Structure formats: C-alpha cells, structure tokens
Amino acid sequence: MTTRPGPQEALDPVKPKHVPAAAGTPDPYFPQSGDHRFRVHRYELALDYRPGPNRLGGSARLSAVANTALAEFALDLADFRIGRVLVDGRTARYTHRGGKLRIRPAKALAAGAAFTAEVHYTGNPRPVRSPWGGLGWEELTEGALVASQPVGAPSWFPCNDRPADKATYQIAVTTPSPFTVVASGRLLTRTTRASSTTWVYEQSAPTSPYLVTVSIGPYRPVPLTERPAVPQTGYVPERLTASFAADFGRQPEMMTYFTEVFGPYPFGEYAVVVADEELDVPVEAQGVATFGTNHLGGGWERERLIAHELAHQWFGNSVTIANWQHIWLNEGFAKYAEWLWSEHAGGPAAATHAAAAHALLARLPQDLCLADPGRKLMFDDRLYQRGGLAVHALRCALGDDAFFQLLKDWTSIHRHGVVATADLVGHASHYSGTSLVPLFDAWLHRPELPPLPG
C-alpha cells in the first residue's frame, strides 16, 4: 500500500442498475447474521492492539439509515466487554449475548432516518466458531491477521454482518512501533508517539464487512512495480523477501491482463501480505490478499492461487453477492480466471483445465446445485470446479468476442454493487442470439454433471 492515490481512485463508483430483492432479506444460510432493517454507509474504527496479551480496545462509529421504523436494532459483535453505546450522541440501552448487541435508542428511529451508533469495547479477540473452523481475528506468534469469510467480522468490530450491506471504512490501528499494520484501503497517515504507532487507512469503495481486513506483524514492504498503473506492494517477513519477489514477480503481468479482460481494476491499490505462519488457504479481502509461508515456493499451484485472489477483486469484492446462496458467482469466476491466466501465460488452455475439472467431477458425487449449494457445501471444492466449468460453458456458447465483452460489461454495470445469480442469467441473455436457459438450467440448477462444454 502507498500514501499516493492511485489512478483508479479517480473513478466514481457505479451504482448497480438493479439491487436484488435478496439483498434486503435475511440470508438463508446465516439468518442470524446481520439486521436487514437498516443499512450502514460508513464505519469509523479506532483500535488499540497489544500483541503480547492479545488485547484489543476499540471504538466503532457507524453512520446508517433505517429501512423501517426502529424501536431497536442489532449489531453483530463477539464476546467483548461493552463500555458504552450511543445513538445520535445519546446514551442507549443495550443487551449483549449470543454474538448480538441489541440496541434500544432513547428515541425510536423513523423509517428513512439517518442515525449514528457508537460502541466502545475491550477484550481479547479470538476467532468465532463455525463449521469451517475459527473465523475472523486470529492471533499469530508475532501479531495478528483477520480472515472473516463468511461470518467472522464480528470477531473484531461491531457490524451489520451481511455481504450486501456495503459501506466505506476508516480504520485507525495503534500498536507497538516495531509492527507494521496493513488494512483495507489507502494509507492516509502513520504517526509515532513514544513506543506506539497509529496507522490510519481509508477504504473509500463500498465494502462488505467480511471483506475488511487488518494484518499486524514485523513486515517489510516490497514494491512489486516501479511505476505501476495500480500500486502493488507486498508486506513480507524480512527472511522471505527474496522468495516473495520470485513467486509474485508475475503478479503485475496478471494485473495488466485482468484489466484487459475484466475491465479497470476497481480499487486504488492492491496489497499482498505473507504471514509468517502456514495458512490452510489464502485469505481474500478487499484490496488485500493474505498468504501463508506454505504458499511460497513457485509452481503452478502457487501461481494459480495468486491469480485466483487477484481475480476476486473484480468478482466478489467489487461485484458482491447479495447473500451466500450465490457464492458460485465469486468462486466460479475466480476459478476461471486461473484458467484464463494459464492460457494467456503460455500454459495449458482454459479448455484443457476445463476437461481436467470435468473428469474430476465425473468421479465425485453429483449432489451439488451451483445456484443453491446449501450452507454445508458452499465451500466444497466441487463448487469451485463446477463454477469454472459453468463459466467455460458460457464462453463456448457465446464465442470469445461476446464472452469477453460480457465480462467487461458485468464488472462495469455492477461495479461496487450487489448481484444474484438471476442477474447474471439476465445479463448473459443480451449477448446470445439463442436462449441460454437450457445451459444455465443444466449447470446451475441441476446436480447432474452436463457434458463437457465445447
């Protein structure tokens, strides 16, 4: 990250022409997460973190609008000690249990009313439990990182934890001076007083709570390009800088290629953190990707992960799903981006990768519907592979000219917006002379594996 504004920051956000109805209803996979009765426009977080005792003190100020009349509303927040809660500057009553901070303002909020909520809290942050292990704030040997997908954001700040509730963020983190702080957005200021340093980041693009991140560690910044169209910086332990430079050396080429086929990069900068720990998978966040030491070492498996996480900046971060039922829109396009990069970079063609994925899926149970995989299967590897195949099937049906125009238009029309599967189906219909309903029905709504596309 850099204190210099990147050229993409000059682009005004494009509001989506259509907001799915699903965006204003409880998430079918996580009905207890979030509160659809209001929406947040901005978060201002001020955090003080002490790595040794893993102690976090924070204040969060939310600027929001009531969708309906509210005598009370709820924020998602893990087990912290609450200091005080204010609504529009006045002390509010609250209860806090089961991961829900229920707030009753001194005066009820009218439908359409703008309001602010301020929460002060302290405690020892830890991941929230889930079927996929701990999610959210994770203490490291030296520092911490955040990996919130899908419902881990409440592990470190009070939020309306719904992917469709996108807001801007200012994040100020104070921590001992030997540590570097990397957070979502552009670094505004870095101020050192005595033995502590405060880092202030601004994320001006609308962001889902699960895509907001912080990494704290003894990192060294490693610029990936000298005069980049998009500033790209690695934050890496000193002993790994040479390995990082070798393994991520082609990322600027990926950025150039993806901007050609997906459209302009939607944010001001892109940062890559390599935590000094092994991680199961890289961590996706808006404008930031976090890798583990086990993701260094070269080879296609590492390179495809770099491409996958970069592609999520368009598919998942800028164009965001209305709820978790539609996760294939994130993962299918990111998987296909791996195959496109391979094809572009002189490796196997996308069709070759598609054939391998099809052969793999043919040997596995066929009980997954892409358009509604269910909470249990939403991160199943078959969703990624079949999602990539569905995108390849669309490419084969449309031809390259129409397909790549579809991609650019999709990321432009819905830039910083919210989408559902039906939006893609409707969008794709404008690029074909014949009905695509049979194709989408076979690939998205039926569990049986269709024939190999093409």
Annotated binding site: 308, 312, 331
Token code pair at residue 161: 């934890």
Active-site entry in 121, 309, 336, 338: 309
* Angle between helix 421-428 and helix 400-413 axes, rounded to 10 deg: 130
Of 169, 210, 235, 384, the catalytic one is 384
Could you confirm whether 94 is annotated as catalytic? Answer: no
For the question of residue 219 being annotated catalytic, the response is no
Q: Name which of 393, 404, 445 is nearest 421 in CA terms.
A: 445
Q: Is 159 exposed, middle or buried (0-12, 13-18, 19+ CB in 10 A)?
A: buried
> Which residue, 318, 316, 351, 320, is CA-closest to 336?
351
Residues in the annotated binding site for Zn(2+): 308, 312, 331
Which residues are catalytically annotated?
309, 384
